[in-house]
Amino acid sequence: MPLTMRSLVQALGVVALLVAANGAQAAGDPGRGKALAYTCLGCHGIENYKNVYPTYSVPRLVGQHPEYLVAALKGYKNKERSHATMYAQAASLSDQDMQDIAAYLAGAPLPVTTTSTGTAPAKVTALCVACHGKDGVGITPEYPTLTGQHADYLARALEEYRNGSRKNAIMQPFTTTLTKADIEQIAAYYAQQKPPLKTVLKRTWWFQSGD
């Protein structure tokens, strides 16, 4: 059967629709995300803001993989992660809301480097670099970046995987052999890597800063 102009146009139309649908799924809309993320900045937009009881730093989100941010929000919503405030924040968000907020909060991606600051602890080389890299930049979008994250937050996360209060089948086995001293050392190591994740800053055009 000869390919008529009409069927060709129809076929191309279907392809264009599929591409558009995939594109919408892959990337959130940072403009819409900005409006939705206003309340988030009350904690995530203040440099060195602390969670109380127990006291540890609110995680930095700028430079993080947006895909991981979405996974983290889903983790609070489905209670794989336990934190009362973050549950309350995430519970009412749709998947699209999460993607849009993540696109806004993540900003520009951190560059993957082959260099690292200081000497990697032996357990980092043995257990962690395969997924989080030597510089702490997660090698896939689902593996979080740890570069320049607050050390006390990283230590808290590792402690929670180890004691099972943060549930993740990939991370849990890597934390069972870590001692408290290992956790402190590993957290300090990844926290000093550069360029670091950053805190979202209110009323600052951080996404234009270029660093």
Q: Which residues bind ligand HEC (CB under 6 A)?
A: 37, 39-40, 42-44, 51, 58-59, 61, 69, 71-73, 75, 81, 83, 85-86, 89, 101, 123, 127-128, 130-132, 142-144, 146, 154, 156-158, 166, 168, 170-171, 174, 186
- Cβ of residue 134: shortest distance to ligand HEC, in angstroms? 12
Of 40 and 110, the one with the shorter C-beta distance to ligand HEC is 40
Q: Which is nearer to ligand HEC, 113 or 121 (CB)?
A: 121
The phi-psi region of residue 35 (left if phi > 0; otherwise alpha if psi is between -120 and 50; otherwise beta) is: alpha
Q: Between 61 and 62, name the residue whose CB sits nearer to ligand HEC.
A: 61
Residue 69: CB partners within 8 Å, gap ≥ 6? Answer: 61, 98, 101, 102, 105, 106
What is the rounded CA–CA span in Å between residue 85 and residue 22?
32
How far apart (Å, rounded) are the C-alpha atoms in residues 126 and 192? 19
**Shortest Cβ 179–ligand HEC spacing (Å):** 12
CB of 50 to ligand HEC, least distance (A): 8
Select 2 or 54, whichever has its Cβ closest to ligand HEC: 54
CA-to-CA dists, residue 147 to 108, 135, 157, angstroms: 14, 6, 14
Q: Based on CB atoms, which residue is closest to ligand HEC, 9 or 84? A: 84
Q: How far apart are CB 197 and ligand HEC at their closest, in Å?
A: 8
Q: Is the distance from CB of 118 to CB of 189 less than 8 angstroms?
A: yes
CB neighbour list of residue 145: distance below 8 Å, 6 or more residues apart = 63, 64, 65, 68, 110, 132, 136, 137, 138, 197
Shortest Cβ 143–ligand HEC spacing (Å) = 5
